[in-house]
């Protein structure tokens, strides 16, 4: 088994996907299916679906592959780093009247287990940006496309030059008043990120890479084939500030003075609304040095602006990229095997890298504690989560969790001979606008501590030292004053892994 890296972004993906209620899955799955079928109709009109191989990459809980396997008869493969997400996607397919016939494969998209040139269609949506090495992921996807086959990619963010990247904001339903005001003023894409909602992923150590240049996508595609379609969606990223910049003309210091004035006004509006909550969250604001640097970048781009160039505008303001790429023709791989290395098939037919291999996904295959999300009753968890410390809950949409009943709640584990990896996902509530600390301890050693200011999910990743037999979850008010402690957090994932 490979050694697990505490900072690996795949750990955040694994935990996030293990325990997430998402009501959009059926609609998104059907939309993805329509997207694939439309691309095939135009670019592979002669495709024999019954003999075709289709790969859905980074599928999360979507059951697009099951739809195509059942209705089109294609050999469909569905991948994600999280086995739980793949299994839930299969369950959702059944719940929505679709026979789950696709092959589920747990894999890391930096190192796909599939053979070269083996899929007629590879589909990916809103996943490539979850890496700091997009060129590796793009090459892996194109490697497994058959010559003459197509890569269908949807809704991947491209870098925006006009952005301070000052802080990672919340998702739409969780904006602070500060974020909401900036959103109403259409300034979030410039001050925070072109694609809002990165805070939850960043808290989980996941990657929300909104700085992938459009040129990197296009150059990589060009090395493997031809871009047949390209769409750059940027409407939501063009507001009053962007229109004001587009109206500017001129050169040199006169132009820079105009750009600087617009940027200073945007920052001033943010400064006026920046409050205590944002300070506790660590939301920084652009400095005068930041304004000066961005002024130079933006002014230079305006000076060099081509006439009505959509690529220039996407590079300046960002865009969501959707493409269809046809791979260059060549000799199709002669191997009849879909996989390029030995794989294991679990009892429910889920496929993953064999235990003991160097693949990262294999390191997450042997959890040491029961899966909370799969437990049907709290009594089964009591050997690890004592009843006097934890209350097992299942909500109306089937999400299972453990709520704390004390300020100090125990989790009892079997001591190990070596250190182990601890992953915890919990949802913290703030009912009285009072921040508090959540600390994870082994004996007197603090494994993790996080200040809770907003109601949101948090991730803990820590090394548990050898010999540890008890983990404590403690809650302490930031001001040390009296506060109701029970039911402050809901734990959805609490898992240990051998460190390797």
What tokens were used for 444? 């007197």
CATH architecture of 9-159+195-234+320-345: 3-Layer(aba) Sandwich (3.40)
- Provide the pairing of β-strand 445-452 with 119-125: unpaired
Spatial separation of the C-alpha atoms in residues 62 and 56, rounded to whole Å: 9
For position 174, what pLDDT does the model report? 87
- Give the side-chain half-sphere CA count within 13 A for 90: 20
Where is pLDDT greater, at 319 or 12?
319
Where do you find CATH 3.40.50.150 in the chain? 9-159+195-234+320-345
Q: How confident is the model at residue 1 (pLDDT cuts 50, 70, 90)?
A: very low
Let me know: does 231 contact 339? Beta carbons within 8 Å: no
What tokens were used for 266? 């945007």
Let me know: does 221 contact 278? Beta carbons within 8 Å: no
Where do you find CATH 2.60.120.260 in the chain? 367-498
pLDDT per position as a tens digit, 481-491:
888 889 999 99
Q: Is 198 helix (H, G, I), strand (E, B) or coil?
A: coil
pLDDT per position as a tens digit, 143-174:
999 999 999 999 999 999 999 999 999 988 88
Q: Count CB-CB contacts under 10 A for residue 287.
A: 12
Fold of 367-498: Jelly Rolls (2.60.120)
For position 335, what pLDDT does the model report? 56
- Please state, in angstroms and as integers, the Cα–Cα distance from residue 361 to each residue in 11, 112, 136, 396, 413, following that order: 10, 10, 17, 31, 24
Q: Is 238 helix (H, G, I), strand (E, B) or coil?
A: coil
Q: Is 467 helix (H, G, I), strand (E, B) or coil?
A: coil
Q: Is 99 helix (H, G, I), strand (E, B) or coil?
A: coil
Task: Compute the average pLDDT of residues 220-236.
Answer: 94
pLDDT per position as a tens digit, 238-253:
999 999 999 999 999 9
What tokens were used for 230? 């390209």
């Amino acid at each position: 088994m490979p050694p697990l890296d505490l900072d690996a972004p795949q750990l955040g993906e694994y935990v996030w996907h293990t325990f997430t209620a998402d009501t959009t899955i059926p609609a998104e799955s059907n939309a993805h299916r329509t997207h694939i079928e439309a691309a095939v109709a135009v670019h592979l009109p002669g495709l024999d679906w019954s003999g075709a191989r289709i790969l859905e990459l980074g599928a999360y809980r979507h059951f697009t592959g099951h739809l195509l396997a059942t209705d089109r008869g294609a050999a469909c493969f569905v991948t994600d780093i999280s086995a739980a997400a793949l299994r839930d996607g299969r369950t959702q397919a059944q719940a929505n009247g679709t026979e789950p016939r696709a092959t589920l494969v747990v894999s890391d998209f930096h190192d796909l287990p599939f053979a070269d040139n083996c899929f007629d269609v590879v589909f990916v949506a809103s996943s490539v940006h979850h890496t700091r090495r997009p060129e590796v992921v793009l090459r892996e996807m194109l490697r497994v496309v058959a010559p003459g086959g197509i890569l269908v990619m949807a809704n991947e963010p491209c870098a925006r030059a006009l952005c301070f990247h000052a802080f990672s904001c919340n998702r739409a339903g969780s904006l602070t008043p500060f974020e909401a005001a900036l959103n109403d003023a259409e300034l979030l894409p410039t001050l925070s990120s072109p694609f809002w909602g990165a805070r939850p992923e960043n808290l989980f150590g996941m990657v929300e890479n909104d700085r992938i240049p459009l040129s990197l996508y296009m150059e990589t595609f060009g090395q493997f084939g031809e871009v047949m379609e390209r769409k750059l969606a940027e409407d939501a990223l063009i507001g009053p500030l962007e229109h004001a910049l587009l109206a500017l003309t001129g050169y040199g210091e006169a132009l820079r003075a105009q750009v600087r004035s617009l940027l200073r006004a945007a920052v001033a509006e943010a400064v006026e609304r920046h409050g205590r909550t944002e300070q506790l969250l660590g939301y920084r604001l652009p400095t005068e040095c930041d304004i000066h640097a961005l002024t130079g970048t933006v002014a230079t781009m305006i000076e060099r602006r081509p006439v009505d160039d959509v690529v220039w505008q996407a590079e300046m303001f960002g865009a969501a990229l959707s493409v269809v790429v046809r791979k260059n023709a060549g000799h199709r791989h002669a191997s009849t095997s879909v996989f390029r290395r030995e794989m294991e098939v679990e009892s429910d037919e889920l496929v993953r890298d064999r235990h003991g291999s160097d693949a990262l996904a294999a390191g997450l295959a042997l959890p040491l504690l029961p899966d909370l999300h799969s437990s049907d009753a709290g009594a089964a968890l009591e050997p690890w989560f004592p009843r006097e410390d934890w209350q097992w809950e299942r909500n109306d949409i089937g999400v299972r969790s453990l709520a704390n009943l004390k300020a100090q709640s125990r989790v009892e584990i079997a001591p190990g001979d070596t250190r182990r990896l601890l992953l915890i996902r919990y949802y913290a509530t703030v009912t009285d606008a009072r921040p508090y600390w959540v600390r994870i301890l082994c004996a007197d050693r603090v494994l993790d501590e996080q200040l809770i200011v907003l109601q949101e999910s948090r991730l803990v990743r820590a090394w548990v030292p050898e010999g540890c037999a008890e983990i404590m979850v403690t809650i302490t008010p930031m001001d040390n004053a009296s506060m109701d402690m029970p039911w402050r957090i809901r734990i959805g994932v609490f898992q240990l892994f051998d460190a390797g």
